[in-house]
């Protein structure tokens, strides 16, 4: 992901575990729309706390067998769980030692976190779902459309805004006008 920062917007998403039920549906859904993200200058990167070996096995397992074969975007193995903790999506019970390391008091897994990061490394959108609730990839694309619209026009995107809609001027007067 480091190679994209400063050059592209990044859609960084976390998923709970390899070889599960909802997770492959999400990874395949992001792959199905990958060209749409890339056409908008946005790189997609996934992350879980599983190992590199688990990711590799899952990437080599066919879709009909529950795998994610043919997924081409990067998948990060956050085996230390530090990335997940930094983004606030690490579930489970754990404590930190004074040396900065932590110990788990049970299983540690990530929530379904999604972060849209601009070229300045600022998180512009975040969404965190609990484990059983899958995401809507079209909503992620809508947010990817909203970010450059804001950056280029300086206008904010109201509720249900989609590409091609008008934005709103972010001023106190603009706020007053919306209530008249």
The enclosing H or E element of 58 equals helix 52-59
> Do 1 and 76 touch, CB atoms closer than 8 A?
yes
Distance CA 146, CA 96 (A): 38
The answer to whether the beta carbons of residues 51 and 80 sit under 8 Å apart is: no
Question: Rounded to an integer, what distance in angstroms lies between the CA atom of residue 126 and that of residue 144?
Answer: 12
Nearest Cα residue to 159 out of 180, 138, 143: 143
Q: Establish whether 157 is a catalytic residue.
A: no
Residues in contact with 139: Cβ distance below 8 Å, sequence separation at least 6, in sequence order: none
Task: Strand 9-14: give its sheet, edge to edge.
Answer: 75-77, 42-48, 9-14, 112-117, 123-129
Q: Which residue has the tokens 């599983």?
A: 50
Paired tokens of 41: 């200058």
The residue from 23, 42, 47, 157 that is catalytic is: 23
Which residues are tagged catalytic? 23
């Amino acid at each position: 992901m480091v190679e994209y920062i400063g050059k592209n917007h990044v859609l960084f998403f976390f998923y709970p575990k390899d070889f599960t039920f909802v997770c492959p549906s999400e990874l395949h859904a992001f792959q199905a729309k990958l060209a749409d993200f890339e056409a908008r200058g946005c790189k997609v990167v996934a992350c879980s706390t599983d190992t590199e070996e688990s990711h590799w096995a899952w990437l080599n397992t066919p879709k009909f067998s529950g795998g994610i074969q043919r997924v081409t975007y990067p998948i990060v193995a956050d085996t230390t769980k530090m990335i997940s903790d930094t983004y606030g999506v690490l579930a489970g019970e754990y404590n930190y030692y004074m040396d900065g390391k932590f110990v788990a008091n049970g299983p540690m897994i990530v929530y379904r976190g999604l972060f849209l990061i601009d070229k300045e490394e600022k998180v512009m959108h975040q969404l965190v779902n609990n484990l059983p609730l899958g995401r809507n990839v079209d909503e992620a694309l809508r947010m990817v459309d909203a970010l450059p619209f804001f950056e280029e026009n300086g206008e904010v995107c109201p509720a249900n805004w989609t590409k091609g809609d008008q934005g709103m001027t972010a001023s106190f007067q603009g706020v007053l006008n919306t209530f008249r």
